[in-house]
Amino acid sequence: MKYLIRHLGIWAVAIALCAILPVIFSSDYAISLLSQMGIAIIFSLSYNMILGQGGMLSFGHAVYFGIGGFLAMHGINLIAGGTLPIPLELAPLIGGLGGLIVGILFGWLSTERSGTTFALISLGIGELIAASALLLPGFFGGEEGVSTDRMVENTITPFDFGQQIEVYYLIACWMLLCIVLMYLQTKTPLGRVANAVRDNPERAAFIGYNTRMVRTIQFALASFFSGIAGGLFAINYEIITAEMIGAIPSANVLMMTYIGGIGHFFGPIIGAVLVTFMQLTLSGFTHAWQLYFGLLFVSMILWAPTGLAGIIMNHEPAWKAGLMKKLIPSYTRATLAALVMFLGIMTLIEINYHLSLSIHPKDPMSLFGISFKAQSPAGWIIAIALIAVGFFFFKRGKNEVKNSWMDVHQAIKTGGK
């Protein structure tokens, strides 16, 4: 009973949060950002069904997102023309069904092999579909893509979807529904068997499971939800191009899922929110935003392979034992040192970008409100000094964190004393 109440409380908080956020952050930019986060959450959770639950590393998941988006776009045009008698609110389902059909086809082909071979097959399928986009202009729209007008008469709500806030609530409803369905799927026998096939396919096959069939079904279901995300993308932007089935969206969803953490259901949600925020905000501040994004991804792989969700869950025993206060001082010192070191690294990066990409590299550059010339030795000296000082204190802080964790583990063993 407590388990049920706890989960109902979590879903109630999620619904309330989705309803309140556009009231708190009411600007057009914020609502557009929230809409894109909702789409990214569905997309990343669908990818985690393949990678996290099924152990299948795919480099072409955007194929099902993009095809779902194109089908939904054509469906909206048919709805607007009166040919397709369904409401606009169900248009993402067209994308989902399209993703499901294509997922069954390519899933059966891809899951013939596993591991690295599966990853290469998925990459080949992704590139094959991306290359075919220009050969099928009737469906993909050529280089211009396919556009639509989401303001149609056939709706089941009083919204005409002319305002972004109305589109946001549509995305939020579909997002919550998809999250619930994907979470419930993890509790089904299929979800459990997919985990078994991921962890030990030989043993799963030995006790009678058809591992290829399990992977195919898991792959197809993930493609279904990916297609729904593509359909919501079509409604949100009212245009979709062949770029959405290429390698870049596939790489983005992989990074979202991995940074958030594939070992926990809520990990991809965190990753989708963080990566979407970084992509849309950092690009307005610096030309090097992709470099920082790459540094974050590499850092997570090297030092936090369980992702942000794994980091959070690692603190659960200390939190339950009331011992977080033992970790906060060492965390604070290590974090401050890391920020100083990163400030120096960022200064060097921005100086080099100014010298390489600026139209007038000899003009003074501005960083954190401070103007200086990139050619001046002072900027380089200060940046290197920040890196050295930050690295020195970070090494000390890292040892302090390690010692703090040893104390916490010892205190947990002794009953929190």
Closest among 57, 37, 40 to 219, alpha carbons compared: 57
Say if residue 150 is exposed, middle or buried (CB neighbours under 10 Å; 0-12, 13-18, 19+). buried
**287-295 CB contacts, 8 Å cutoff, 24+ apart:** 287/353, 287/357, 288/349, 288/350, 288/353, 291/349, 292/346, 292/349, 293/255
> What average pLDDT does range 234-248 have in this prediction?
92
| Residue listed under structure tokens 């309803």 | 19
For residues 286-314, b (16+ Cβ closer than 10 Å) or e, as one string?
Answer: eebbeebbeeebeebeeeeebbbbbebbe
**What is the rounded distance in angstroms from the CA atom of residue 84 to the CA atom of residue 237?**
21
> 3-state class of 30 per DSSP?
helix
Say if residue 356 is exposed, middle or buried (CB neighbours under 10 Å; 0-12, 13-18, 19+). exposed
The predicted model scores a pTM of 0.93
Answer whether residue 82 shows pLDDT above 80: yes
pLDDT recorded at residue 321: 85
Q: What percent of the chain has pLDDT over 90?
A: 69
Answer whether residue 416 shows pLDDT above 70: no
Answer whether residue 174 shows pLDDT above 90: yes
Residue-wise pLDDT tens digits, 175-230: 999 999 999 999 999 999 999 999 999 999 999 999 999 999 999 999 999 999 99
pLDDT recorded at residue 134: 81
Tokens of 205: 């096959």
> What average pLDDT does range 53-74 have in this prediction?
95
Say if residue 36 is exposed, middle or buried (CB neighbours under 10 Å; 0-12, 13-18, 19+). buried
Closest among 274, 257, 306, 296 to 56, alpha carbons compared: 257
Residue-wise pLDDT tens digits, 22-48: 999 999 999 999 999 999 999 999 999
Answer whether residue 352 shows pLDDT above 70: yes
pLDDT recorded at residue 3: 64
Residue-wise pLDDT tens digits, 90-146: 999 999 999 999 999 999 999 988 889 999 999 999 999 988 888 888 899 988 899
pLDDT recorded at residue 413: 82
> What average pLDDT does range 147-167 have in this prediction?
91
> 3-state class of 356 per DSSP?
helix
Contact between residue 22 and residue 34 where contact means Cβ atoms under 8 Å apart: yes
Helices (H), 261-376: 267-282, 289-303, 307-314, 316-320, 328-357
Q: Spell out the domains of the chain, with CATH numbers in brackets.
A: 2-306 (1.10.3470), 315-413 (no CATH)
Residue-wise pLDDT tens digits, 310-343: 999 998 888 988 888 889 999 999 999 999 999 9
Q: What is the CA radius of gyration of the chain?
A: 24
| Residue listed under structure tokens 């011992």 | 323
Average pLDDT, the chain: 91
Tokens of 143: 């280089």
Answer whether residue 388 shows pLDDT above 80: yes
> 3-state class of 363 per DSSP?
coil
